[in-house]
Amino acid sequence: MSWGKRSVASIFLILYISLSVAEKDIQRGSQRKSCEDAQGTCLPKGTSECSELQGIGWELAKNLECQKGRLCCIRGAAGEARVTARECKNGATESAICLQAKGKCRKKCGPRQIELPGECSGVAGCKCCSRQSGNRPTDAVCKRDATATPECIAAKGKCRRKCGPKQIEIAGGCTGVDGCKCCGRKSGNDNCKKKATATAECKAANGRCRRKCGPKRTEIVGGCTGKAGCKCCARNGSSQSRCKKNATVTNECSAAKGKCRRKCGPKQREIVGGCTGVTGCKCCARNKGNGNTRCQRKAIPSSACTQAKEKLARVLSACAVLQK
């Protein structure tokens, strides 16, 4: 092939490529939406917010075309119907709350996501979609929408999705959003120790005023006054020291030389009703192992026990005579 024919072929190839590129540009321009086609309004030059002209309900739409230097405003409902997923993903901007909730701007939220309204800007109709943790809300939702009760505020607590290791949960301290918790400082127990007053019922159960009762303690309802959110916490059941110090020994228990304890040992027997004053304490007496103790365990009358002892004594004396 001569150099002349090669140059002619190269020229035709360049013309073909140029025409193809121009055709694609024309198609892109025809596909781009204009502000008027989307039932929007182009703002005058120098106006940067839709609220300055149109009022509430209009949003700025950067993806719609106006003349140079002018912005397009569109109503939220119309923008939501006409916006595309690509426009929300590439053109919308997440707010600080949306980013904190690990959300992203999308056209529609999925079944495992929750929508944070009004947290996407730049493209009308886009939504901030955040992941759900089960059915529990995010920290951002608890901070923004949940309301702290007076008990929560008194404990200097805040509404959060989950309390940290150095915080305690104030039960029922947040309202308005299911799953949000009131998280206060653990040092709040000091306020209950100093400012709350234990009632007579709380003192009788050897309870103490605390912000939260531990796993081995029971709450005495209404046992603390003077400080909101404080609870009277008493030990579960009766302790050995409480039975020794506070329980009262009856005459039956004293006659059997028993003592008040929480639990009787393997070499002891319980005298029913032998201790009073503290719930759960028992009168524990020793098992001597002689006939008298055996008679007491089996509820045999004392006269029969005396006769049995006398008979045993006669048998033993007879045995001693025969041995001589």
What value does the mean pLDDT take over residues 28-47?
66
H or E stretch covering 139: helix 139-145
Bigger pLDDT: 290 or 194? Answer: 194
Q: What's the pLDDT tens digit per position in 293-314?
A: 455 555 556 677 778 888 888 8
- Spatial CB neighbours of 121, under 8 Å, sequence gap ≥ 6: 60, 92, 93, 95
Q: What percent of the chain has pLDDT over 90?
A: 2
For residue 31, is it left (φ>0), alpha (ψ between -120 and 50) or beta? alpha
pLDDT band for position 285 (50/70/90)? Answer: very high
CA nearest to 180, candidates 220, 135, 124, 237: 135
